[in-house]
A and B are shown apart, each in its own frame.
Chain A
C-alpha cells in the first residue's frame, strides 16, 4: 500500500509517542489530499455531464409539454363511427373513486383500459370503438382481443400506454400508483374501485356518462339490477337455517378462500349462501383444513377456470379430509370460472345467477 511506509517497524506507545507516530501519516495525508482533489474534480466533471444531459432533457421536456402527451379529444386511433347519439351530455365533470374531479369537454376517443373488469364494462356499454389499448389480462369480450396491449395488470407498461397517446386512461383501485405516474406524464386518469354490487352498477353508470353512452349504459345497468333483484328477492324468503353452508375454494394449495368483505364473499351472501369463512379477518385468507372439516360446508365452489392444476370436482374425494365433507359426499362440488366471479364488472349478474343455481337448484332452473 503506497504511502504509510516504514510504520510497521515502530512499536506501540502512548501520548507523545503516538503523536510522533502520527506525523508521517499526516505528511502522507497532504499528498493524499491532493490526489483526492483530483479525484473530486473528476467526480464533479461527471456530475456536470449528467447535469448537462438533464438540462438538455428538461429543455426537451418543456418543448414537449407544450404539445402535451394527452391529445385531448383529438389524438389516438379510435375506430371510426361510434353508434348513433346516445344521450351524451358534454361538457361534464365527474368524480372518480379517489375523489378526484375530472372534466370532459367531449367523449374520449382513445381510451386505455388497465384492468379486465374495466375492459368488460367499456365494451358492454358500446364504447368498444373508443378503446385503443387494453391490459394483457383482458380476455373478455372477444371483440376486445384485437386491441393493442399495454402490459400486465401489475405492472402496466407505461411506455406502451404513453405511445398510444390516450385521452383517457381508466384504472382499477389497486393501480393508484400507476394512475399517479401516468397523471405525472400529463395523461387523464379515471379510477374505478367497486367493492359491492351497487358500486359496480355505479361504476358502469359513471363510465357510461364519461364515454357519452348514457342510453346504452342505462339499459345495461337496469338489466343487471333486474337480474340481481330477481335472485335476491327469491332467496330472501329462505330462512337462515335452510341456507347452505358454502366454501369458495379460491386456491387449493395453500387452501385459500374469500372473506366476507370481498366481492365474491358478498355475492355468496347475496345468492343466499352462508360463507363458512364469514368471520375471516382478511379478504383472501388462507384457511385451515381443520376449520373446513369442522364447519362442514354443504356446497364447495372451486375457482378452477382454465387452470390445469386445479383439482377437478371428482378429485376432491381423494384429498385427505375432504371425503368427510357433506359437499363431497353429496356431490355438490362445482367448478366456476374465476374471471366471471372475481371481476367487478358487468358479469357479476352472471356470477350471482350461477351461484344461486348451485346453491338452490330447485329454485333456479
Chain B
C-alpha cells in the first residue's frame, strides 16, 4: 500500500497493520488446517499399508462397516488386522507424537533453550526404570487391559519428575537452571539403575532391549483408551497456558511484570510435560527426536506464538510419528524397525532441508507476514 500523509495517512497505516495481522492469522490457520489434513491423509495411508496387503476399498469397508459399499465384505482376518491392530496403532502413534512434540515445545519455552526436549526432566529414564524393573521381575499383572509395563513406566516417569521437582525447588521458587541440572542428575542415576537391571535381564533381554528402542508394536485399544484422556487433559491445560508461555519467552522477570504468575506457571507446565512425557514413553517407549525437532520445524512456519505453536506442534508430531511408524513396519516387512530409528533417520535430513531452504520458501518468508 502507498503511504499517505496526515490523518488519512495514520488511518491507512493502521489499516496496513490490520491487514498484515489478518494475513498472518490466515496463514497460521492455513498451517493448522494443512497439518490436520496431513494427519488425516497419513492416517488413512497408514491403515492401508502394512505387513499384510489389504486393498484400500476393503480398509474403508472395515472402518465404516455400517455404510453399504461395493466389493466383497472383508473377511474376519482383514477386519481384525485393520480394526484391532492397525487402527489402534495409528491412533497411539498420533497420541505419542502429539504428546512428545507439545512437551518439547513447552520445555523449550520454559528453559528458553532450543535444545530442551521432553527427556531433560528425567521422565524418560524414570519410565525406563519402571518398565525394565517390571519386565525383569517377570510380574505380569494387567489392569484395564494394559500390562504392568506401561503402567509402571507411567508411574516411573511421574515419580522421576517429582524427584527432580523436589530437588530443584528453592524457597517455593523453581529456578530453571537448577531444574535442568536436577533432571540431568536424576536421569544419569536412573539410567545407571536401568543398565544394572538390563545386565540381569537374562531371559527377558529380548523384551527389555526391544522396549528401550521404542516401538508401537503392542498398541491395542486399551492403550488408546487410557492414553487419550490423559493427552486431552494435558493438551487442554497446555493450550490454556499459551499466553503464559509466550510471556516466559521474554524472561521470567519480564513475564512477572506482564502479570504472569511465573512460579505457578512453571509448576503447572512441569506437571503437564511430566504427564505428556509419561503417556508418550509408557505407550511407545523412549522415542527420540520428535520432542526436540518437531517444535523447531513447526516454529519455522507458525512463529513462536504458543497459541499457534502448540496445536501445530501437536498435529505435526502426530503426523511425523504416524508416518515414521508406518515406514518402520513396512520398509523391510515383515520385520519391523524400531520407530525411534526411523524418526531420527528420516526427520533429520528433512529438518536440514527446511533449514537450508527456509528463506526460499514463501510460506516461511519472514515472521511479519
Contact = CB atoms under 8 A, between A and B. Distances in A.
Interface of A: 1-4, 7-8, 10, 12, 21-22, 25, 29, 32, 35-36, 39-40, 43, 46-47, 50, 53-54, 56-61, 63-64, 67-69, 136, 149-155, 157-160, 162-165, 173-174, 176-178, 180-181, 184-186, 281-284, 286
B142 A159 contact: no
A39 B257 contact: no
B80 interface: yes
Most B-side CB within 10 Å, residue of A36, A158, A159, A184: A159
A121 B236 CA distance: 55
Instruction: Please list the 9 inter-chain residue pairs (A to B) with the smallest Cβ-Cβ separation, ordered nearest first.
Output: A64-B79, A25-B259, A60-B65, A154-B206, A157-B334, A67-B76, A283-B202, A159-B51, A69-B80
B80 A185 contact: yes
Contact of B200 (A25, A163, A282): A282
Contacts of B46: none
Contact of B79 (A43, A60, A150, A181): A60
The residue in B140, B218, B258, B305 that gathers the most chain A C-beta atoms within 10 A of its C-beta is: B258
A283 B81 CA distance: 37
Contacts of B64: 56, 60
A59 B247 CA distance: 47
A64 to B, nearest CB: 4
Given A155-B336, A176-B140, A284 B202 contact: yes
Interface centre among A3, A10, A281 (most CB of B within 10 A): A3
A184 B77 contact: no
Given A56-B66, A69-B80, A159 B202 contact: no
Interface string B305-322: 101000100000000000
B91 A50 contact: yes
Given A56-B65, A281-B200, A284-B202, 11 more contacts: A1-B246, A8-B254, A12-B257, A54-B91, A63-B65, A69-B76, A69-B80, A136-B335, A159-B51, A180-B147, A185-B80
Contact of B85 (A10, A22, A54, A159): A159
A53 B257 CA distance: 46
Contacts, number: 158
Interface string B292-335: 00000000000001010001000000000000000000000111
B180 to A, nearest CB: 25
Task: Determine chain B's interface SS by DSSP, over half rule.
Answer: helix
B81 A163 contact: yes
Contacts of B217: 155, 158
A72 to B, nearest CB: 12
Contact of B239 (A36, A57, A286): A36
A46 B314 CA distance: 12
Interface in B224-283: 224, 228, 232, 235-236, 239-240, 243, 246-247, 254, 257-259
Contacts of A7: 257-259
B199 interface: yes
B80 A64 contact: yes
B361 interface: no
Most buried by A among B203, B220, B305: B203
B166 interface: no
Nearest to A187: B80
Interface in B65-107: 65-66, 75-77, 79-87, 91
13 contacts: A1-B246, A1-B305, A2-B21, A4-B258, A25-B259, A50-B228, A57-B82, A57-B83, A149-B334, A157-B335, A158-B217, A160-B51, A184-B220
A160 B63 CA distance: 20
Nearest to B247: A4
Interface centre among B86, B207, B210 (most CB of A within 10 A): B207
B48 to A, nearest CB: 13
B342 interface: no
B52 interface: yes
Interface string B193-211: 0000001101111110010
B239 A60 contact: no
A181 B51 contact: no
A143 to B, nearest CB: 22
Most A CB contacts (10 A, CB to CB) among B63, B142, B206, B334 go to B334
Interface in B149-202: 149, 199-200, 202
A173 B240 CA distance: 48
A29 B258 CA distance: 12
Nearest to A32: B243
